Amino acid sequence: MKLWGGRFRKETDSLVNDFNSSIQFDCRMYREDIQGSLAHAKMLAEQGIISQEDLKQIRQGLESILADVEAGKIEFTAENEDIHMNVEALLTERIGAAGKRLHTARSRNDQVAVDLRLYLRREIEEIIGQILDLQHVILMQAERHQNTVMPGYTHLQRAQPISFAQHLLAYGEQFRRDVERLVDCRRRMNVCPLGSGALAGTTYPIDRWATARTLGFDRPCSNSLDGVSDRDYALELMGGLSILMMHLSRFSEEIILWCSWEFKFIELDDAYSTGSSIMPQKKNPDVAELVRGKTGRVYGDLMGLLTTMKGLPLAYNKDMQEDKEPVFDAVDTVKICLPVFTGMLSTMRVLPEKMRRAAGGGFINATDCADYLTKKGMPFRDAYTTVGNLVYYCGQQGKLLEELTLDELRDISPLFEEDVYEALRLETCMGQRSSYGGPAVAETTRQIQELRTFISACRP
């Protein structure tokens, strides 16, 4: 008979039984479920709601169940619906009456809420660690390439010279915000719903602060209805993970471009590339493509749960059982994407000559040429037009700006002098961009330092 079978006179339809049960996916929260029950039982005993002897038995029972689950000795059943009732049924089977007392002053509604928070809290820690590993690799690559000139792009058109370090460090900043978002999400998540009961608290003299403390939460949630109704923390986490995946996806897109023959700025390691079943020459960036592809999947997880939640009246509704699969999927997806991506990035070979060659075409020193004239006294807008005319002239002559003779330059403006050639060198153009946040080596050094400080401050 079901744990809740008292008021029923018929067996549950077997299809309904399968349909209703969540054990297939919530079994992964067995540890958190046991952890929550241990804290609850301890508090019940401290408050004199159950006896010390009951507590002792419950503790032993739960610990033996935990050990058996971990040893693979336990088969959960759909008959017992979910992880909460599976564990409770096992406990009662093992210790009898004391097991039946565990659920005093508790409901599965606050139980599932506490389990999921505990579970996701741990996953957040792990994901943060993985992002920090990625940032570490970004840092290593950036340190090597502070003087590697590459074209910076807007509209995917060559725009201005930057260093490869500067480009990588931009992602370093994005991932820094991702970590901050997760830290923030963890803080808001770290509130304990246990003791909310089914929805309306309980008449027993429970101590919600005690269970919150035992479980490492900052405090109990303030309102029992909210405690069992709230899934913001899962949504917030998936929101943060979606943004993180968006960053990984943009980075992947660039890696895919960079290792194409059209760019050839980098070469991926063989261990992080795949071949074609028909074209012998192919070396494909499948890892980057899959990360880009899986981003859509994580967005879908977020959209799915947002949509599930949008029409639900307070408090618990069974719809909310649909929270777990998407949030687990989002977490699992991120947890596989991050280390694979990090491995790909740390082993990729950077080809600075190719980047330099690409930077040499496309007039990416045109702004610097206008700045040159401006510094010689011409108003910037006039300098801009003058250089525009020069670029047009170069196009007709098939020359670059720095290939024009001084006479050709002076025909357009007498302000040009011999020092223009130094000013137009890409290394100069990049190196002189020393404004705060710019690509000059002094600035990338500062950014690297900042990122390093951030990483070590986040590591426990």
106 near ligand ARG, rule: CB under 6 A: no
Q: Within a 10 A sphere around the Cβ of 49, how many other Cβ atoms?
A: 18
- The Cα–Cα gap between 55 and 40 comes to 10
Binding track over 258-297 against ligand ARG, x by CB under 6 A: ----------------------------------------
Q: Which is nearer to ligand ARG, 112 or 448 (CB)?
A: 112
The most distant pair of C-alpha atoms in the chain lies apart, rounded to whole Å, by 102
Residue 64 a catalytic site member: no
**C-beta separation of 366 from 401 below 8 A:** yes
HSE value, Cβ hemisphere, 13 Å, CA-based, for 301: 28
Residue from the set 37, 109, 141, 308 that interacts with ligand ARG by CB under 6 A: 109
Interface residue with ligand ARG, options 34, 55, 89, 112 (CB under 6 A): 112
Task: Give the Cα separation of 118 and 33 in Å (integer).
Answer: 9
Q: To which residue do tokens 């153009």 refer?
A: 429
Q: Does 320 bind ligand ARG (CB under 6 A)?
A: yes
* Neighbour tally for 412: CB within 10 Å: 15
CB of 103 to ligand ARG, least distance (A): 12
Q: Does residue 84 carry a catalytic annotation?
A: no
> Which listed residue (155, 277, 435, 456) is catalytic?
155
Compute how many residues bind ligand ARG; rule: CB under 6 A. Answer: 10
Whichever of 273 and 308 has its CB closer to ligand ARG, that residue is 308
Among 14, 51, 260, 276, the active-site one is 276
CA-wise closest residue to 254 among 173, 338, 179, 348: 348
**Does 86 interact with ligand ARG (rule: CB under 6 A)?**
no
3-state helix, strand, coil in the chain (%, to 5): 65, 5, 30
Residues in the chain: 460
Q: CA–CA separation, 8 vs 2, rounded Å? A: 9
Q: How far apart are CA 286 and CA 195, in angstroms?
A: 48
- Tell me the window of 38-46, 217-225, 317-325, 389-397 that interacts with ligand ARG (CB under 6 A): 317-325
Q: Contact 185/124 with Cβ under 8 angstroms?
A: yes
- Scanning 361-460, the segments in alpha helix (DSSP H) are 366-375, 380-397, 406-412, 420-424, 426-431, 441-458
Residue among 321 and 333 whose Cβ is closer to ligand ARG: 321
Peptide bond into 78 cis (omega under 30): no
The token duo for 364 is 């990416």
Question: Pick from 228, 179, 178, 176: which is nearest to 202 by CA?
Answer: 228
CB of 34 to ligand ARG, least distance (A): 16
Q: Nearest distance from residue 224's CB to ligand ARG, in Å?
A: 14
Q: Are 183 and 128 in contact (CB under 8 A)?
A: yes
Of 101, 103, 106, 108, the residue at the interface with ligand ARG (CB under 6 A) is 108
Under DSSP, is residue 363 helix (H, G, I), strand (E, B) or coil? coil
Candidates 5-13, 107-115, 175-183, 369-377: pick the segment binding ligand ARG (CB under 6 A).
107-115
Rounded least distance, CB 155 to ligand ARG, Å: 48
| 87 interacts with ligand ARG by CB under 6 A | no
Q: Which stretch binds ligand ARG (CB under 6 A): 254-262, 284-292, 313-321, 405-413?
A: 313-321
User: Binding of ligand ARG at residue 82 (CB under 6 A)?
Assistant: yes
Closest CB 331 distance from ligand ARG, rounded Å: 16
Residue 161 C-beta: closest distance to ligand ARG, Å: 55
Among 321, 333, 386, 447, binds ligand ARG (CB under 6 A): 321
Q: Does 186 bind ligand ARG (CB under 6 A)?
A: no
Q: Which of residues 394-453 bind ligand ARG (CB under 6 A)?
A: none
- C-alpha distances in angstroms, 129 versus 274, 406, 460? 28, 56, 9
9 versus 318: smaller Cβ distance to ligand ARG: 318
Residues in 16-55 at the binding interface with ligand ARG, rule: CB under 6 A: 22, 26
Question: Which residues are catalytic, by number?
Answer: 155, 276
Binding site for ligand ARG (CB under 6 A): 22, 26, 82, 108-109, 112, 316, 318, 320-321
